[in-house]
Amino acid sequence: MNNFALNIQILRKSNGFKQSDFEIIKIKRTTWNNYESGKSEPDIDTILRIANFFGVDLETLLVEDLSKNEHLISKIDTLKKPITNAENDSKPNMAMEDKTQYYTENAKNMQQVIDTQKQLIDSLNTNIHFLQSRVQQLEK
C-alpha cells in the first residue's frame, strides 16, 4: 500500500477529524496512529470501512498520491481550531472585523465538515440497504 498512510492522514486533516474520531468506525486512536505512521496496515475489511467513511474508492485511498491534490492541501491549510474564550481574551487588540471574519471562516469550515459527514452517512445508509437486500437474497 504505497500511499495509504499519507492518504488517510491527508483525508483526515482535510475533513477536520482527529485520530480519535475514527472510533465511530471501530478503529482506536492508537491503531489509527499506527496506520498513519505506516507502522501497521489494516485488513481489507478495515480498508473498506475507511474508504466508505471518507466516501472514496479503493484506488483513491490506496494508489493515488493525494499530497498532489491542491484542493485537499489548501483545505487542510484553511482549517483552524475555534478560538476559546481564553484565547479570545488574550487577543484584546484584535479588531472586531478580524474576529467576525475568523468566526465566519470557521463556520464555513465547520459546515464543510458537516456536509462531509452527511455524505458519509448517506454512503453508509446505501451500504446498509445493499447489505440488507443481499442478506435477504441469500436467505431465500
Q: Does domain 1-79 have CATH number 3.50.50.60?
A: no
Given a cut of 90, whether residue 19 has pLDDT beyond it is: yes
For residues 128 and 111, give the distance between their C-alpha atoms in angstroms, rounded to a whole number: 25
Q: What are the grid coordinates assigned to 20, written together?
A: 480519535
User: DSSP labels for 112-131?
Assistant: HHHHHHHHHHHHHHHHHHHH
How large is the average pLDDT for residues 95-107?
Answer: 67
Q: What is the pLDDT of residue 78?
A: 62
Cβ-Cβ contacts under 8 Å for 61 (sequence gap 6 or more): 4, 7, 8, 11, 47, 50, 51, 54
Higher pLDDT pick, 88 / 19: 19
Query: Of the ranges 61-75, 95-109, 123-137, which one carries the lowest mean pLDDT score?
Result: 95-109
> What confidence score (pLDDT) does residue 115 get?
75
Q: What is the pLDDT of residues 69-80, one digit of tens each?
A: 777 666 666 654
Residue 35 has pLDDT above 70, yes or no: yes
Residue 46: the pLDDT is 94
Report the greatest alpha carbon distance in the chain: 70
In the chain, ranges of CATH 1.10.260.40 domains = 1-79
Grid cell, residue 135, equals: 442478506
CA of 56: how far to CAs of 13, 69, 85, 103, 139, in Å? Answer: 15, 14, 37, 30, 30
